[in-house]
Structure 1
Amino acid sequence: MPKITADGAHLTVLNLFSTDAAEKQESLLGAMREIVDSAAYPGWISSTVHSGTDRFGTANFIQWRSTEDLEKRYAGEEFKHRTLPLFSEMTTAIRLLQNEVVYTLQAPELGGVTEISPTRDDYTVIEVLKVADGDQDALVEALGPAQEWLLKVPGFRTHTVLRGLRARGLEGAFVVCYDQWADKASYDAFRTTPQAEQPADRLLSQSRVDALVIERDSNTYRVVHTRTAAG
């Protein structure tokens, strides 16, 4: 199953699709499964399909060997004349985000490994944070080791920070957080903890993040399908 690492070994792409109805989400998932199951593109490593839970939508966490391999896929006739038009019919927004994984954090019981798989029961949160061009490095730092207080939060599993490199459907600099939780209840309890009950390290790191973020958007997901290139 795909693993998320900050070793710089490959390009990570997050394709985020928003839609406005349950049946359109199901159609999106079906189309994504079909593409993933037939993928044989040079440089493609893995694809993991996510189904939106809080809001209608889908996400595809894709690993590529390089930007050059991805751009060849984008330049192909199939992508331009079949894939994009098909998804455009079912979506209200499409964001194709190219990233590098710069930091990972795992609960001790996971042994330093972040895995994404439909065989797991993770409650996954993907948040896209827009930031001024000159503040991207500062935001990456604020979202990295300064977040180790998460290890004390009940239900926390993993935290991954991705530096945005380039995008289609999103203007300007951005950072992505990909987080896994034990369940919705633990995540909701974390999100709604009164400020007076939050530890000092959480308050400090959150204030740093809030001072840098221009705009944020998030959704929650469950992983429903994955496939890795043979060999």
Structure 2
Amino acid sequence: MPAIAKTNDLITVIIIFVVEPEQQQELIDTIIEFIDNAVKYQPGFVSASLHKSLDGIRVMNYAQWQSLEEYYTFLDNSEVQAQGKKLANFNPPDLHIFEVIVSQPENAPLEINQGDLIHLAEFRVKPENQQRLVELEKEYIGVALQNPGLISANFHRSLDGTRTMNYGQWRSLEDFELLLQDPKYKPLSEYWQGLAENEFHLYEVVFTKSTTN
């Protein structure tokens, strides 16, 4: 199964599509077709994990590649990209390349499995503020992990300096809602203010494909 690359040995590409709810499943089916017919055969491909947001307006692909060079070769291959031409029928995605900077707790299972519940906190930041935001994320991760329903928190830093992402794995929707309601977690909604724009969505993992399955 795909696993979050805590050791930074892999390149992580997070691709987020914004869709109308009635288009969400069609987009998922289109991406799966592209992965199965073309992407999974490309040199350097490691995994692709599709997530659908519970509010119906996002589809996210958490993809992994062996190296930047192999990923860029995939992007530059016009014959391969032509096999994904149906994706042009949807809004262009927000796509960034990331490295995993911290995964906590240390003993957390980092596998991505179909049916998992995750939240993705998206932080849009100016490059000059990214490092400070990363430092604060490392500082406050312990507060979030006081919630026993949070299996792991996995912070990512984009190589272009404009994003950080927290991929949080949860036991249940009820556990996540407690995080929003309990006053002791209030600092988690404040630490990034003045540094970044933030939004989050809850997702279910609906498809995984990797070189090991």
Does TM-score exceed 0.5, indicating one fold?
A: yes
Q: Give the number of aligned pairs.
A: 211
Q: Does the 8 Å CA contact 1:14/1:96 hold for their aligned counterparts?
A: yes
User: For 2:198 and 2:83, how far apart are their aligned partners in 1?
Assistant: 31
RMSD of the TM alignment (CA)? 2.2
Residue 143 of structure 1 aligns with which residue? Answer: 137
Could you tell me the TM-score, scaled by structure 1's length?
A: 0.82
Could you tell me the TM-score, scaled by structure 2's length?
A: 0.89
Secondary structure of 2:191 counterpart: helix
Q: Does the 8 Å CA contact 2:108/2:152 hold for their aligned counterparts?
A: no
- Structure 2 stretches of 5 or more lacking a match? none
**1:173-218 CA deviation, whole Å, 9 max, x = no partner?**
111111111122221221233xxx316xx62x654322321x2232
**1:39-96 CA deviation, whole Å, 9 max, x = no partner?**
111111111111221232211111101111111111111454442x42231x334111
Q: Does the 8 Å CA contact 2:117/2:169 hold for their aligned counterparts?
A: yes
User: For 1:10 and 1:211, how far apart are their aligned partners in 2?
Assistant: 31
Secondary structure of 1:72 counterpart: helix
**1:72-123 CA deviation, whole Å, 9 max, x = no partner?**
111111454442x42231x3341111100111013x8xx33211111xx432
- Structure 1 stretches of 5 or more lacking a match? 167-171
Residue 7 of structure 1 aligns with which residue? Answer: 7
User: For 2:148 and 2:92, how far apart are their aligned partners in 1?
Assistant: 34
Which residue among 194, 204, 209 is the counterpart of 1:222? 204
How does 1:19-168 map onto structure 2 within 5 Å?
A: 19-22=19-22, 24-38=23-37, 39-83=40-84, 85-89=85-89, 91-106=90-105, 111-118=107-114, 121-166=115-160
Percent of paired sites with the same residue: 22
